[in-house]
């Protein structure tokens, strides 16, 4: 097996592992701070990846611009999800949300 293939496989493995670590860290921080699991981290990272792909194909090949646009796309989707899903869930007073969303940290 050529050394270039081994090196390429190693680099790609580190990239994928870094994405998994980033998703796990985001899920852990959200659960620790808000006490509500946000399983949309993988979707937000995927949206950022697709935004980066589309920007690189249709708009520009400048990595800095692609990074900014993909971050903006993911942030916009995250903001909409927060407004549509998390705010109403935090304001809900049903027994199910009281059971699953503890309003105090003393419990």
Residues 6+ apart with CB under 8 A from 89: 36, 97, 101
- Where b means 16+ CB within 10 Å and e means fewer, 94-106 reads eeebeeeeeeeee
Q: What is the pLDDT of residues 13-58, one digit of tens each?
A: 998 888 888 778 877 777 777 666 666 677 888 888 899 999 999 9
In contact, 36 and 86? CB cutoff 8 Å: yes
Single pTM value for the model: 0.58
With tokens 């697709």, the residue in question is: 50
Which pLDDT score is estimated for 107? 46
């Amino acid at each position: 097996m050529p050394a270039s293939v081994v090196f390429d496989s190693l680099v790609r493995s580190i990239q994928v592992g870094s994405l998994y670590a980033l998703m796990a860290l985001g899920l852990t921080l959200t659960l620790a701070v808000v006490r509500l699991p946000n399983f949309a981290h993988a979707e937000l990272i995927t949206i950022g990846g697709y935004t980066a792909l589309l920007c690189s194909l249709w708009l520009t090949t400048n990595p800095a611009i692609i990074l900014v646009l993909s971050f903006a796309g993911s942030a916009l989707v995250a903001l909409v999800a927060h407004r549509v899903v998390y705010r109403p869930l935090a304001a809900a007073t049903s027994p199910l949300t009281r059971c699953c969303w503890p309003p105090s940290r003393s419990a």
